[in-house]
Structure 1
Amino acid sequence: MVRRFLYVVAALIVLGLAAAFAYRLWGVEMIRMAMVPGESFRAQSAIGPDAYRDDRMWLARPALKGNPALWTPAGYRARQQPGGAAVFFLHPTSYLNRAHWNAPLDDREANERAALFLRAQASAFNEAGEIWAPRYRQATFGAFLTDKAAAEQALRLAYGDVLAAFDAFLAEAGPTRPIILAGHSQGALHLTRLLKDRVAGTPLAKRVVAAYVVGWPVSLVTDIGRMGLPACTAPDQRGCVLSWQSFAEPADPTLIREVYDRSTGFDGRPRRGTPMLCTNPLTGTMGGAAPATANLGTLFPNKDLSGATITPGRVPARCDDRGLLLIGSPPDVGPYTLPGNNYHVYDYSLFWANVRADAARRMAAQVTGK
């Protein structure tokens, strides 16, 4: 397990190297040719909550043998006793194959990559509570590079699995336990929809400690009002949403902005020109800036990626007027940045210790009712 430690998601390791190289030479069209499936979308039967009674449907679950979400760097320990928050974590895209629009549940490569994601991302929450992270028929990476109808169909199929897993998670967590919702990239996209469909306007909203919608844009104008929780504006606020997208400077978010500006918000209005939610993970508040000294710890991998250490005080963060999280000069956390100085791969690991402290702080506020 240690040798295969995911400081950098293998999925995005490959993507970061290949995509950056291809982008510089041939641009977006070449990437689309390499990643977008050529087959037609294939409808598949829905999966119900009962299927998620099986441990094999989960990457992480309390008492699951070999649970990757229990990893911690030296100096930190996962929660030792049952209890705390029930954490529902949705991993990012780990299926890069263009053979299908959706990952087969038994795809070994995709599942191994997803488990690696959990070590670098979901592990930040393993002190605040116990983590559930489902396998789901995720849309392949190429679905995010095209406007084909099949791409949206693939995302709907994946979301159906997420809803089934969430219902099973709620049944296991019980009717009163505090809940943390978290995800990254594709997982964060599904999380925004889950908040809108299953949390907004329900008693469940009062149980949510926080929702970490990381690596996916959330419009402050068209989205947040329909997601059932406000944006976090204080470091100890409970029942709120955090979101950020990390870029070193100079930042070129052209690809993200183009997709964002073509999309429609949850209230039916265009997202074009609307500000994105930017939570500063160093302060736990919306907007603002914090120096590197406020960073409690960034994960830095060994040269051979056999492990990682955590080092404080290395990476600053500030939200710009576009809603991007800027981290200053490109930090040397690895070679897997995406075009435009996009540190998407490192959204959690840049601020791992701060995310951990943030979850604990908000959980304490939930318990005390403050």
Structure 2
Amino acid sequence: MSLLLAPLLLGAAQASVAASPPVTNSSALGYAYDNLWLCLPGRSDSCSTPLATTALTRQGYGSNGQARPAASPKVDCFYIYPTVSQDRGLNSDVSVNEERSAAASQFARFAGVCRPFAPIYRQMTASAIGAAALGQDIRPAFNVAYGDVRSAFRSFLGRTRGRPFVLVGHSQGSWHLQKLIADEIEGKPAARQMALAIIPGYNVLVPAGKLVGGTFKSTPLCTAAGQRGCVVSYVSYRTNNPPPPGALFGYAPAAGMTVACTNPAALGRRGWADLDSYWYTRLTTAVPGGPIRWSTEGTPPTPFLRTEGLVSGRCVNDGQRGYLELRTNVTPGAKWTDRIGGEVGLGGFFIPGWGMHLADMSAPQGDLIRLVEAVAR
């Protein structure tokens, strides 16, 4: 999966797009047709395929299970996947390839607590990296991608028929959902339907010590499970490796502002909390220290593993820095791994300013799902 391309794209693209507000794209796709949706409720697709998963504890491999959609969930989820497309050009086509892997690893489990909706959109591709780096104005490419997301969201609202909804995104997906909240939700009827927004992997800015302001005018950060109409946002960094000044993720560009951090396992709190994690064990992306040996008992018996307490996280806000600090809990004699991945590799190096971007969704995924359960109640 090419999720590692997202930060490089976003860093170059952000500078190009931020120069002025994007112009509304008038040629957005129409989402009345089911074939433009990667996931829809009640259909056999990327979000309904059972995910074979094994529990991994300090004692080694445990029970096996399969994640399946819920029969009648009370809320709907709208998911925008991160940068995964390696299509030619600055925008992807609508043929589904890498997008399936993103949906399976990041979103499919949410179908156990909400009806899943995931549009196929013409996202900015890896090819936009070079274009932005060479100074090309990529605002038109951003307009195409965001125009599709907005069009899909409007179609989604028609399909929900007033039901409460949750927004879910990561990286480029979170970037589009930030703009969607500002343009289509804040101060509009949809705000009453939005139960929760889960948008990690892209900086949400707030004034230091505040819960709202900056990126959003009226949508606050979440401080308690079950709170409605709020945002869960964070960017991940390994412990003892905070974002350096000017980092792409985790460092606000102006004094007086900080990057929002809401710990999915401990909303409103600052201390360490054990995370409920889901890991895809077949990734081929580089990991510091080499490939992970997940257990002394050998190769994982299923593509996905669930760990509870292998990783802990805590929110840190220090001036312009704001991030979710992750640490691995090593226990002498334990049969599970003492390492996890998440750093972004490029040219044989791991980029310090991008933190553990690839672990944003995996490390607290079980906790994120429980937050959706809480607002559904």
Q: How many residue pairs align between the two structures? A: 314
One of 295, 311, 314 as aligned partner of 1:315: 311
User: Residue 65 of structure 1: CA displacement?
Assistant: 2.2
Aligned ranges 1:180-191 → 2 under 5 Å: 180-191=166-177
Residue 5 of structure 1: aligned partner? none
Which is richer in helix? Answer: 1
Match in the other structure for 2:36: 57
Contact 2:278 2:365 (C-alpha < 8 Å) held by counterparts: yes
1:283-302 matches, cutoff 5 A: 283=266, 285-286=267-268, 288-291=270-273, 294-299=274-279, 301=281
Please provide the CA RMSD for this pair. Answer: 3.2
- Kept in 1, the 8 Å contact 2:243–2:251? The answer is no
2:160 corresponds to: 173
Cα deviations across residues 53-80 of structure 1 (Å, max 9, x unaligned)?
2222111111232233654434464333
Query: Counterparts of 1:71 and 1:244 in 2: how far apart (Å)?
Result: 28
Map 1:238-257 to 2 at 5 A. Answer: 238-251=228-241, 253-254=243-244, 257=247
Matched, 1:208 2:215: no
Report SS of the residue matched to 2:138.
Answer: helix
Q: Comparing 271-280 with 126-135, which one deviates more in the overlay?
A: 271-280
1:356: how far off? Answer: 1.2
CA distance in structure 1 between the partners assigned to 2:308 and 2:117 by the alignment: 28
Unaligned runs of 5+ in 1: 1-9, 20-27, 37-42, 264-270, 365-370
- For each residue in 1:225-262, what CA deviation from the matched residue of structure 2 results, as whole angstroms up to 9, or x when unmatched? 42x42110112211100001111133253486358879
Change (3 A) 1:172 1:256: farther
Gap change, CA 1:256 and 1:328, over 3 Å in 2: farther
Aligned to 1:130: 115
User: Residues 70 and 308 (structure 1 numbering): CA distance in 2 closer, same or farther, change over 3 Å?
Assistant: same
- Decide which of 67, 70, 83 is 1:80's aligned counterpart: 70
Match of 1:358 in 2: 371
Residue 340 (structure 2) aligned to one of 306, 313, 333: 333
Alignment match of 2:220 (pick from 215, 223, 230): 230
Q: CA deviation at 1:305?
A: 10
- How far apart are the structure 2 equivalents of 1:238 and 1:346? 25
Distance across 2 between alignment mates of 1:76 and 1:354: 18
Return the TM-score normalized by structure 2. 0.74
CA distance in 1, matches of 2:176, 2:47: 21
Say which SS state the counterpart of residue 349 (structure 1) adopts.
coil
**Deviations 1:285-307, CA, capped at 9 Å, x for gaps:** 1451223xx32334252658961
Tell me the SS of whatever aligns to 1:47.
coil
SS in 2 for 1:280: coil
Moved more, 316-325 or 251-260: 251-260
The alignment partner of 2:144 has SS state of: helix
Superposed, which structure 2 residues align to 1:19-168 within 5 Å?
46-48=27-29, 51-68=30-47, 71-72=50-51, 73=53, 74-75=64-65, 77-97=67-87, 99-106=88-95, 111-141=96-126, 143=128, 146=132, 148-168=135-155
Cα distance in structure 1, aligned partners of 2:86 and 2:300: 23
Q: In structure 2, do the counterparts of structure 1 residues 260 and 75 end up closer, same or farther at CA, with 3 Å as the change threshold?
A: closer
Please give the alpha-carbon distance, in whole angstroms, between the structure 1 residues aligned to 2:229 and 2:34. Answer: 29
Sort the Cα spacing of 1:299 and 1:335 in 2 relative to 1 into closer, same or farther, 3 A.
closer
Secondary structure of the residue aligned to 2:310 is: coil
- Asked whether the 8 Å contact 1:287–1:320 carries over to 2, the reply is no
What is the TM-score normalised by the length of structure 1?
0.75
Report the CA distance shift for 1:123/1:258 in structure 2 as closer, same or farther (over 3 A). Answer: closer
Which letter maps to 1:102? Answer: N
Change (3 A) 1:256 1:128: farther
Q: How far apart, CA to CA, are the structure 1 residues paired with 2:121 and 2:246?
A: 25
Q: Deviations over 1:301-353 (max 9, x none)?
A: 26589611211111011111221111025962347644227211111111121
Structure 2: runs of 5 or more not aligned: 17-23, 54-63, 208-212, 283-298, 330-337, 346-350
Question: C-alpha offsets along residues 173-196 of structure 1, whole Å, 9 cap, x if unaligned?
Answer: 11x201111100000000000000
Q: 1:272 to 1:58 in 2, by over 3 A?
A: farther
Q: Deviations over 1:95-126 (max 9, x none)?
A: 135x41111222xxxx3211111111112421
Q: For 1:135-159, what per-residue CA distance to the aligned partner results, in whole angstroms no more than 9, with x for missing partners? A: 1110123546736352232112100
